[in-house]
Structure 1
Amino acid sequence: MFRTILWFIYFWIYLIAIQPALIRVNRLEELGETAEHDRLTNQTAKKWAHALVKLAGVTVEIRGEENIPTEGSVLFVSNHQGNFDIPILLGYIDKPKAFIAKIELLKLPLIRTWMTHLKCVFMDRSDIRQSLKVINQAASHLKEGYSMVIFPEGTRSKSESLGEFKPGSLKLALKAGVPIVPIAICGSYKIMEQNGFIIKPAHVEITIFEPIATAGLTKEQSLELPERVREIIKHGLLR
């Protein structure tokens, strides 16, 4: 329990402590200095996320980093076991990235501001029209060179199981014509969800698979894409 209390105190104190960086990021955006804005935003967010994971006592093992393209944007497609998936991916995968996140995160002050600067988009899965708008917005970010992360299960599994992928969850990769990079996260549910949301140390394994090209796919290949990616991730969880 002490670790959990300490973690949440640190979580908010860190956010307050980096307010000068946020002021600078806001100013860079106003001045149109996009490259420096993006560099500082990603650097600050990665450092914060990495610190949160370390404070939780979590060790992270990553395999397949060489599979991440160094040039151009990609759509990272990952399973979703627990709340720590976002800070783990943000803090331990070098390529800058934004997330397709649940709309409830907009209620969190400071966090929503940093996420917006990262180019995250917020989806209300109960509103089909809004969801389609968000997919188009995310596809635009991909075309602009910003990599994105999506959890196509739609919610946390809170276990080792892998849920079904939501229909159309990978359409934004097809819209933007960018590669899909599958990711298997194994063990993150043990940090919180397994313990009644009490934070405990755990070991998490991240496996990054070879990118899948989406440009030029036939209609049939496009329809088969979600299940193809799901099988790759499922295989990674069985290792």
Structure 2
Amino acid sequence: MIFSRIKAAYFAVEFLISILLVVFFMWLFKKHIHGVRRFWGRSQRLFGFYSLEVVGNFDERANMIIMNHQSMLDIVVLEEVYPKNLCWIAKKEIADLPVIGQIIHIPQMISVERENKRSLIKLVKDAQDRVEKGRVLAIFPEGTRSHSKELLPFKGGAKIIADKLNLKIQPVVLVGSDIMDVKNFSFKNGKIKIICLDLIDTANPEWLENTRAKMQETLDNERQKATI
């Protein structure tokens, strides 16, 4: 417990410094922003002393990925391994932070004010712009981190964007990223597994809930394997 808290303190300082550095280098090398972010993701794995395993393949046809959310490491590991330029859809509160918010603005991520209907209209417009530029939208449909074994209910934003823009969506399940536990201020050693599921059949109007069930089943199976 003491070691995990010492590691959490160390990583918190390192991570904050790394964000400031990545903001600076993205500003400095505007033509290589994606490369800067991938290098940042790789460096965090080295400084965080965790390992990665990717199961399955990222589908080249996908222009949106949806993921479960356990910690900040979810973003870090996807930035390292995803082959295309991701466009994260983030809370406006993050984009509004001084200096750190530039990690949203400089690479043209999308910020959204969740309770504002006008923001939703802008979200769809911005999402269309990024997709037309060849980027892949990345969203946590739970809306926030889950601190239990159950996925939180999926919010409708991902479905609205996908249905409006006729997107191809790939679910990605993250297992083990809760080694970074902000709530209890601990950071354990471990492996993070990234599981790529098949593209979603969005012709079914219940596709969002069906996808949540499939992702929950995958999580449960992985946790069961870990106890054997």
| Common topology (TM > 0.5) | yes
TM-score after normalising by structure 2? 0.83
**How much does 1:16 deviate?**
4.6
Task: Look up the match of 1:68.
Answer: 59
| Residue in 1 that maps onto 2:184 | 196
Aligned residues: 216
The equivalent residue for 1:130 is 119
> 1:110 deviation in Å?
4.1
- Matches of 2:62 and 2:33, distance apart in 1: 17
The 5 A counterparts of 1:81-120 are 81-120=70-109
**Structure 1 match to 2:224:** none
* Structure with the higher strand share, 1 or 2: 2
Report the alpha carbon displacement of residue 20 of structure 1 after superposing the two structures with TM: 4.9
Q: Is the 8 A contact 2:154 2:212 kept in 1?
A: yes
Distance 2:99 2:37 in 1: 12
TM-score of the aligned structures, taking structure 1 as reference length: 0.80
Matched-pair contact (CA < 8 Å) for 1:135–1:172: yes
* Cα distance in 2, alignment partners of residues 198 and 91 from structure 1: 23
- 1:172-223 superposed Cα distances (whole Å, 9 cap, x missing partner): 1222222101011112123214x61222223221111122365xx4xxx2x3
Choose which of 22, 34, 39 in structure 2 pairs with 1:47. Answer: 39
CA distance in 2, matches of 1:154, 1:16: 25
> 1:107 and 1:225, CA in 2 relative to 1: closer, same or farther beyond 3 A?
same
Aligned residue for 1:14? 18
Partner of 2:214: 232
- TM-superposed CA distance for 1:166, in Å, is 0.9
Deviating beyond 6 angstroms after TM superposition, the runs of 4 or more aligned structure 1 residues are none
Report if aligned partners of 2:64, 2:167 keep a CA contact under 8 Å in 1: yes
1:129: how far off?
2.4
Q: Verify: 1:154 aligned to 2:143, yes or no.
A: yes
Question: Does the aligned pair in 1 maintain the 2:62–2:169 contact within 8 Å?
Answer: no
Displacement of 1:47 in angstroms is 1.0
Q: Which amino acid aligns with 1:54?
A: L
CA contact (8 A) 1:136 1:172 kept: no
